[in-house]
Structure 1
Amino acid sequence: MQFLSCDWGTSNFRLRLVESKTKEILKEVIIPEGISSVYSRWKQSLLPDSERVSFYKQVLSKAILSLGQLEVTPIPLILSGMASSSIGLLELPYMKFPFNLNAKQLKFANLEPDEDFEHPIFIISGACTEEDIMRGEEVMLMGCANVPKKDGVYIFPGTHSKHVIVQNAKATEFKTYITGELFNLLIKKSIISNSVESGVDRSSFIQGVQDSGSADLLHQIFAIRSKDILKGKDPVQNYQYLSGLLIGTELRKLDFSLFPIYVVSENPLLCLYAAALSEIDGTVEIKLMSSDQALINGHLNFLNELSLVPVS
């Protein structure tokens, strides 16, 4: 059997057709139809609230059509990420921390097929503590639950990086770091935007990680601009130094007595976080995991609990 796996983030939309038995991605479409832009169009449309779900379904329909002809229809569509947020298709309440790493714990809503949309939709909600929120990472965490040793710290790098602590096979707490968003704002809209350029320079990245341990962060960020003007510092080196400085600052907040540390992402972030962790503490046990595979595993685990596909 097949299913549609959708990660609908704030800025991006990723849809995959997945074979449930093999977990193979058969087809994939990635489009810049993030929840934020769709919500803006929805507000501008001035349509009544009663038509909001239909408006968002139109985006889903176009994305499914772009996959090409599906061999079997209808098949279930699983949505996680910002689809369940206040700016999403349907706002759902958060699942509360702590929780067991079992897909039965997930909160969700089910939209039955209709004449305009033939696929049953399952929208998975996020998770929260008293002080922090996440949408999407909880599904990936469920997809990591089959690792031999579940306990440790799970890091989900990204726009809003998450550090989730798992003890006794239970997610107990987490913190969010605005690392990715701050990096993007600095390289695109700040005074240092003309002093940086995307590129690879490992030594500059590592230097940034090292300086994060003792540097005055706000001063060091501005120093990138001043070094460019006064010394003609290479913009690629500046770019990688800033990346190391911010990632290093984030990771130094970790309790390194809680290990192993699982980094759940894709390259280049996967390698950057691993390199930064090794630089900060060379003794820490680091395990790297694919966020793409974790998401598919999480969606499949959810479907298995609903008895929609055979348990693999």
Structure 2
Amino acid sequence: MSGRASYADWIAVDWGTSNLRVWAMTGRGEVRDQRMSDQGMSKLSQAEFEPVLLNLIEPWLGTAPTPVVCCGMVGSRQGWREAPYAAVPTAPLGGAQDVPCSDGRIKVSLLPGLKQQNAPDVMRGEETQIAGFLATHPKFDGVLCLPGTHTKWVHISAGEVVSFQTLMTGELFDLLGRQSVLRHSVDTEDWDKAAFSEAVSDTLSRPEALAARLFQIRARDLLEGTHAGIARARLSGFLLGVELAATKPYWLGQNIALVGATALTALYASALSVQGLVAQVEDGDTMTLKGLTAAYTELYG
């Protein structure tokens, strides 16, 4: 906490699987204070959510009920209370679930995720970033890419999520880099931009070659002594090339925007540039807070 003691007009909460972030907000959407905790959803029983939250936000509470707007895995089936998925096509916000609380100083609302029945898919948390992006760019029509462990490609039109697709590229990179035979060849933080770009082009044009290309990373190391930075860049590039091949119906001929952490959006922007594409980039944390602010405005006016 920053030490700026003051009550919050409302409180924004991003409660994920591993971490919890809270912001004391003004009615105009300005941040008065913020705190973080490692008390993510996966570490808590249902009865622990309220006391964990109160422990963080206690200094911001007055005597009257303070609205608390939450996004993320806190609204999952394993969370505080399930906020059922809203079906696409739909606006990214709506259908918030109120949570009964024993402390009368807080009024908690959980934002729902989104679901897609045709080509089954779900998201929870990303919808708030999408809402933040649309609050900032209300006329945007095109495709949002939200890179992460499970990257989302989202078709946006007329302020609604029309459809989306999830790809496990980030998780695959982590598993292959840490638990497969490739771990012996990519154990570094070094990077080779040229090797990355070449790998993206390779599997984007020939995604069916991915399995063979992956083992070649190890073979090149054994036979040619390939630098680990080159091998790591190739692993990332091969996986991202396949992702771009799979999502080509989404991004081809569309406006593209990237929303996420700086390092990841830069990586995706680099991969897209191999195809001569330039993407708009927005910070994920900023969009989350803007989305929570949009939700508060929708709920409380």
Is the TM-score greater than 0.5? Answer: yes
In the alignment, what sits opposite 1:81? Answer: 72
Query: 2:19 is aligned with what amino acid?
Result: N
Aligned counterpart in structure 1 of residue 53 of structure 2, from 57, 60, 69: 60
Amino acid across the alignment from 1:185:
L
Task: Measure the CA separation in 2 of the matches of 1:24 and 1:202.
Answer: 38
* Superposition deviation, residue 113 in structure 1: 4.2
Pair 199,76 (structure 1): closer, same or farther in 2 beyond 3 Å? farther
Does the CA-based 8 Å contact 1:11-1:35 persist in structure 2?
Answer: yes
Cα offset, 1:71, TM superposition: 7.5
Equivalent position to 1:109, from 97, 111, 117: 97
Q: How do 1:20-31 residues align onto structure 2 when only pairs under 5 Å count?
A: 20-21=27-28, 23-24=30-31, 26-31=33-38
Counterpart code for 2:98: N
Counterpart in the other structure of 1:187: 177
Deviations 1:31-68, CA, capped at 9 Å, x for gaps: 2x332343xxx4xxxxxxxxx2x222233334446xxx
Secondary structure in 1 matching 2:288: helix
Select which of 263, 267, 271 maps to 2:266.
271
Aligned equivalents of 1:221, 1:13: Cα separation in 2? 36
CA contact (8 A) 1:244 1:276 kept: yes
Match of 2:257 in 1: 262
1:135 aligned residue: 124
Residue identity matched to 1:264 = V
Label 1:273 to 1:72 Cα distance change in 2 as closer, same or farther (>3 A).
farther
Aligned-residue sequence identity (percent) comes to: 30
Q: Give the aligned length.
A: 285
Unaligned runs of 5+ residues in structure 1 are 43-51
Q: CA deviation at 1:209?
A: 1.3
Alpha-carbon shift at residue 269 of structure 1 (Å): 0.5
Within a 5 Å distance, the mapping from 1:90-101 to structure 2 comes to: 90-100=81-91
Is 1:23–1:296's contact at 8 Å kept on the other side of the alignment? no
What displacement does 1:84 show? Answer: 1.4
Output the amino acid matched with 2:201. Answer: Q
Deviation, 1:224, is 1.7
Pairing 1:15–2:4 present: no
Judged with a 3 Å threshold, the aligned counterparts in structure 2 of structure 1 residues 22 and 135 are, in CA distance, closer, same or farther, namely closer
1:70, 1:231 → 2: CA distance? 60
Q: Could you tell me how far apart the structure 2 residues matched to 1:141 and 1:126 are?
A: 11
Alignment partners' CA distance in 2, 1:184 and 1:62: 34
TM-score w.r.t. the length of structure 1 is: 0.82
Q: Does 1:36 align with 2:53?
A: no
Whole-angstrom CA distance in 2 between matches of 1:152 and 1:220: 32
| Correspondences of 1:226-241 after superposition (within 5 Å) | 226-241=219-234
SS of the residue corresponding to residue 154 of structure 2 reads: strand
What CA distance in whole angstroms lies between the structure 1 residues aligned with 2:228 and 2:289? 37
What letter matches 1:84 in structure 2?
Answer: G
**How many angstroms apart in 2 are the aligned matches of 1:71 and 1:94?**
30
Cα shift at 1:2: 4.1
- Paired amino acid for 1:271: A
CA apart distance, 1:98: 0.4
How far apart, CA to CA, are the structure 2 residues paired with 1:7 and 1:28? Answer: 11
Q: Deviations over 1:235-259 (max 9, x none)?
A: 2222222112212211222234442
Q: Please give the residue correspondences for 1:94-243 in structure 2 after superposition, counting only pairs within 5 Å.
A: 94-100=85-91, 103=93, 106-115=94-103, 118-130=105-117, 131-146=120-135, 147=137, 149-196=139-186, 197-213=188-204, 214=206, 216-243=209-236
Q: Which stretches in structure 2 are left out of the alignment for 5+ residues?
A: 1-7
Distance 1:181 1:59, change over 3 A: farther
CA pair 25-226 structure 1, distance change in 2 beyond 3 A: farther
Give the aligned residue type for 1:126. Answer: G
Does the 8 Å CA contact 1:159/1:178 hold for their aligned counterparts?
yes
- The structural deviation recorded for 1:162 is 0.6
- C-alpha spacing 1:26/1:178, structure 2 compared with 1 (3 Å): same
**Worse overlay, 69-78 or 287-296:** 69-78
Q: 1:110 to 1:238 in 2, by over 3 A?
A: same
Paired residue type of 1:298: G
Query: 1:288 is matched with which residue: 281, 284, 287?
Result: 281
Q: What amino acid is aligned across from residue 41 of structure 2 in structure 1?
A: I
